[in-house]
């Protein structure tokens, strides 16, 4: 059952108050954070003050805004005025931004109540949350396992039932992969659909703010509010925002789902393959047409991604120099020493590794061999999808090659960790939207996710396919740690 | 300074040594420890070897995917009227600075390092 209409309708009837709803979300967050480490900041005072204002404004006559009184958690790399934005890094620590991200402004205007900031891999770099400077988030289904990354805190907060919805950011799968590993829905919109103003930059041509929810319809309600052109972000596109909630409820009969058989082979966990095959059959039974598609360059996506993402990151993260905000190393004798020591003490190993890789691929004599080559293969990946979407409305893949793995399993082998993103990075490279939907439970009791990718601006179709699946094949299990 | 901008290693397909790692760290304004240098050299060499599989793909005549990612994004007018807008102001902008002084960001000495 969708939670947003349940809450907003109860509020409209006067059956509860925003204050009560916010209080119970805060209590859950505080109670479960010892076990989950999902929140880096729980802002009780700000949340309760805001909820009180919402209750006061409700006069019982005028229509209430779309997210009225909905408690929401925000990844700690999205700027919320009055709260911290550490990005999971020591170099920013308790830094508090002086403005709201556009996405946050729009959520607040729609009546949402922000209860706190969620833990993540440092600067959104990671697939397991083990790169957070403040300790990893634990997976609510099994606290010995990773929640996925980088938006692990937001995924865990929704999976554990602390909040109905949460925001993350997705540069190579950082919303969809943790959604799959935590058994919730996660959407990465089309590049340019949601403003990046106030989202701390990692890979500027790849980054998008995304939404976690237990039900696709709730993610649709949040995207509805956030989407659209923003003069503060020149890369937002002037494309009308459809009625996503209306789209969600449409029948899927006759929609064509593409399956790239080559992506269901080597390296894929048999239980994940089995769950995805069953999901394909469920879609067929619901009236969707299943067609074969070919994405011949998808196997190169990780190589392309780790050139482009690290190149962009090495440039974006140059701003952390100890001058204008955040941490500064003490007692450096001269400016250059101050820069180097600040960045040495402030950044963790994965961030350093990626900055160096990015610096290397962009350095003189290497630009053509690595960066330009990668951008050309990126064009080929875009062309693959354009061709696939001429014969289908969405492409179905697994979201991640395995269910949640154990802490420490991949921490010494960065390349093995990167390969976890094999199914998700293509959407960021092509700029297209993608959604992860829970599609089963493994023999170890861990959730499995399927991914649907669609053409530019097809979020409505993705919600519709996700919703139809969730109605037909609900996940009949609950995480060990929950409200 | 100019010397730092060009890496000594010229062949893109050569393995990455600890000395290369030190040079890259300098370019990136990162001070790294001996342990980190020993750890990063084989890891970055591994990743670079992995990404070099792209060399097998024929990309002649293919345009690089630079700029706007969707045709609609590309077409969207991104300029705005040149009008004075309010800004953060000096007090708020300096608030999070590690060492603000008389309306400025103070830094250690620039010359002689």
ipTM: 0.90
Q: Which residue has the tokens 């996940």?
A: A475
Task: Identify the weakest region by mean pLDDT among A19-28, A86-95, A263-272.
Answer: A263-272
Position A481 scores a pLDDT of 97
**Nearest CB to A237; choose among B33, B66, B70:** B70
pLDDT at site B1? 30
Contact (CB, 8 A) for A210 and A175: yes
CB atoms under 10 Å from CB of B18, counted, come to: 13
Which residue has tokens 């890891």? Answer: B43
What distance in Å separates the CA atoms of residue A44 and residue A48, rounded to the nearest whole number? 6
Mean pLDDT over the full length of chain A: 96
Distance between CA atoms of A460 and A393, rounded to whole angstroms? 11
pLDDT for B66: 81
Per-residue confidence at A267, pLDDT binned at 50, 70, 90?
confident
Which DSSP category does A197 fall into?
T
Query: How confident is the model at residue B14, as a pLDDT?
Result: 56
* A128-137, A312-321, B14-23: the lowest-pLDDT one: B14-23
Q: Do B65 and A382 touch (CB under 8 A)?
A: yes
CB contact under 8 A, B7 and A366: yes
pLDDT at A266: 82
pLDDT band at A58 (very low <50, low <70, confident <90, very high): confident
Check: CB of residue A192 under 8 Å from CB of residue A298: no
Q: Residue A214 to residues A2, A172, A184, B48: CA-CA distances in angstroms?
A: 8, 21, 5, 39
Interface contact B98, partner A, CB < 8 A: yes
Chain A from 306 to 365: CB within 8 A of any B CB: 306-307, 314, 318, 321-328, 332-341, 343-344, 347, 349, 352-353, 355-357, 359-361, 363-365
| pLDDT one-digit tens code per residue, A147-205 | 999 999 999 999 999 999 999 999 999 999 999 999 999 999 999 999 999 999 999 99
Among A215, A135, A159, residue whose Cα is nearest residue A407: A135
Say whether A325 and B69 touch across the interface (CB within 8 A): no
**B3 — pLDDT class (breaks 50, 70, 90):** very low
CB contact under 8 A, A360 and B48: yes
Is pLDDT at A482 greater than 80 in this prediction? yes
Q: Would you state the pLDDT for residue B112?
A: 64
Chain A nearest-CA distance from B88, in A, is 8
CB-nearest partner of A300 from B47, B53, B99: B53
Question: At A168, which helix (H) or strand (E)?
Answer: strand A165-170
Residues of A annotated as part of the active site: 75, 150, 174
Tokens of A80: 């919320």
Check CB contact under 8 Å for A192 and B57.
no
| A217 and A467 Cβ atoms separated by less than 8 Å | yes
**Can you tell me the distance from the alpha carbon of A153 to that of B97, in angstroms, rounded to the nearest whole number?**
28
pLDDT per position as a tens digit, A193-228: 999 999 999 999 999 999 999 999 999 999 999 999
CB pair distance less than 8 Å for B30 and A356: yes
pLDDT given for residue B6 in this prediction? 36
Chain A interface includes B60 (CB < 8 A):
no
- The answer to whether residue B13 scores a pLDDT higher than 80 is no
Distance between A315 CA and the closest CA of chain B, angstroms: 9
Q: How confident is the model at residue B7 (pLDDT cuts 50, 70, 90)?
A: very low
Three-state DSSP at A440 gives strand
User: Are B30 and A373 in contact (CB < 8 Å)?
Assistant: no
User: How far apart are the C-alpha atoms of B16 and B13, rounded to whole Å?
Assistant: 9
At residue A15 the predicted structure's pLDDT band, cuts being 50, 70 and 90, is confident
Question: Which of the pair, B22 or A1, is modelled with greater confidence?
Answer: B22
| Chain B interface includes A81 (CB < 8 A) | no
* Whether the Cβ atoms of residue A352 and residue A304 lie closer than 8 Å to each other: no
Residues 108-137 of A with CB under 8 A from B: none
- A358 within 8 A of B44, measured Cβ to Cβ: no
User: Is residue B12's pLDDT more than 60?
Assistant: no
- Outline where A234-366 has alpha helix (H): 244-248, 270-285, 301-316, 335-346, 349-362
Question: DSSP 3-state assignment of A116?
Answer: strand
Per the CB < 8 Å rule, is A98 touching B96? yes
Mean pLDDT across the stretch A19-47?
98
Of the partner residues B44, B52, B97, the one whose CB lies closest to the CB of residue A357: B44
pLDDT at A423 over 60: yes
Contacts of A297 in chain B (CB under 8 A): 57
A456 interfaces chain B, CB cutoff of 8 Å? yes
SS3 label, residue A254: coil
- Could you read off the pLDDT of A446-461 as tens digits, one per residue? 999 999 999 999 999 9
C-alpha span between A198 and A175 (Å, rounded): 17
pLDDT of A139 over the 60 cut: yes
Return d(Cα B45, Cα B51) in angstroms, integer. 10
Report the C-alpha gap between B30 and B37 in whole angstroms. Answer: 11
* Mean pLDDT, rounded, for B62-68: 87
Q: Retrieve residue A442's tokens.
A: 């493994």
Q: What does the alpha-carbon distance between residue A448 and residue A440 come to, in Å, rounded to a whole number?
A: 5
Rounded Cα gap, residues A195 and A238, in angstroms: 11
pLDDT of the residue at B16: 87
Q: Is the pLDDT of residue A467 over 50?
A: yes
Contact A426, A420 (CB under 8 A): no
Shortest Cα–Cα distance, B72 to chain A (Å): 6
pLDDT for the residue numbered A57:
87
Query: For A334-353, how does the pLDDT look when each residue is reduced to its tens digit (9 = 90+)?
Result: 999 999 999 999 999 999 99
Q: Would you call A367 an interface residue with chain B, using a CB distance cutoff of 8 Å?
A: no
- Structure tokens given for A293: 């598609």
């Amino acid at each position: 059952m969708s939670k947003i209409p349940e809450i907003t309708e109860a509020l409209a009837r006067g059956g509860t108050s925003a204050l009560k709803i916010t209080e119970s979300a805060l209590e859950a967050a505080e109670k479960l954070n010892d076990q989950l480490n999902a929140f880096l900041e729980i802002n009780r005072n700000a949340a309760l003050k805001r909820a009180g204002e919402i209750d006061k404004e409700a006069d019982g006559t005028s229509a209430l805004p779309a997210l009225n009184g909905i408690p929401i958690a925000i990844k700690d790399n999205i700027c919320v005025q009055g709260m911290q934005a550490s990005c999971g890094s020591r170099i920013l620590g308790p830094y508090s931004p002086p403005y709201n991200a556009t996405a946050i402004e729009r959520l607040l205007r729609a009546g949402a109540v922000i209860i706190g900031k969620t833990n993540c891999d440092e600067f959104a770099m990671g697939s397991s949350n083990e790169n957070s400077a403040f300790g990893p988030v634990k997976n609510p289904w099994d606290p010995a396992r990773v929640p996925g990354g980088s938006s692990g805190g937001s995924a865990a907060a929704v999976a554990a039932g602390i909040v109905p919805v949460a925001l993350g950011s997705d540069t190579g799968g950082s919303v969809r992969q943790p959604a799959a590993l935590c058994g919730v829905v996660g959407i990465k919109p089309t590049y340019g659909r949601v403003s990046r103003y106030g989202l701390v930059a990692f890979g500027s041509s790849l980054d998008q703010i995304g939404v976690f929810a237990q039900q696709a319809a709730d993610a649709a309600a949040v995207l509805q509010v956030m989407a659209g052109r923003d003069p503060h972000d020149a890369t937002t596109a002037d494309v009308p925002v459809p009625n996503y909630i209306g789209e969600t409820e449409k029948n899927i009969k006759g929609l064509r789902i593409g399956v790239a058989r080559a992506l269901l082979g080597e390296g894929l966990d048999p239980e994940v393959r089995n769950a995805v095959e069953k999901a394909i059959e469920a879609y067929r039974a619901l009236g969707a047409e299943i067609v074969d598609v070919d994405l011949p360059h998808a196997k190169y996506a990780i190589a392309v991604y780790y050139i482009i993402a690290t190149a962009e990151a090495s440039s974006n993260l140059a701003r952390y120099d100890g001058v204008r905000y955040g941490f500064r190393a003490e007692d450096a004798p001269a400016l250059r020493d101050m820069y180097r020591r600040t960045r040495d003490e402030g950044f963790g190993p994965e961030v350093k590794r990626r900055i160096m890789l990015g610096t290397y691929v962009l350095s003189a004599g290497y630009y053509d061999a690595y960066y330009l080559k990668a951008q050309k293969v990126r064009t080929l990946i875009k062309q693959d999808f354009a061709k696939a979407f001429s014969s289908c409305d969405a492409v179905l893949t697994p979201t991640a090659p395995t269910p949640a793995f154990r802490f420490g399993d991949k921490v010494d082998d960065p390349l093995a960790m990167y390969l976890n993103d094999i199914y998700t990075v293509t959407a960021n490279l092509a700029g297209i939207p993608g959604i992860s939907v829970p599609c089963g439970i493994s023999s170890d009791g861990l959730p499995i996710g399927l991914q649907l990718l669609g053409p530019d601006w097809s979020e409505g179709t993705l919600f519709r396919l996700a919703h139809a699946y969730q109605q037909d094949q609900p996940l009949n299990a609950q995480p060990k740690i929950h409200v | 300074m100019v010397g730092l901008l060009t890496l000594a290693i010229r062949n893109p397909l050569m393995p990455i040594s600890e000395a290369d790692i030190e040079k890259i760290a300098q370019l990136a304004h990162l001070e790294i420890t001996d342990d980190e240098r020993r750890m990063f050299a084989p890891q970055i060499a591994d990743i670079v070897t992995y990404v070099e599989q792209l060399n097998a793909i024929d990309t002649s005549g293919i345009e690089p995917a630079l700029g706007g990612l969707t045709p609609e994004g590309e077409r969207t007018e991104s300029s705005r009227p040149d009008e004075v807008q309010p800004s953060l102001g000096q007090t708020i902008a300096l608030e999070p600075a590690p060492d603000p002084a008389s309306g400025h960001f103070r830094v250690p000495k620039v010359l002689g390092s």
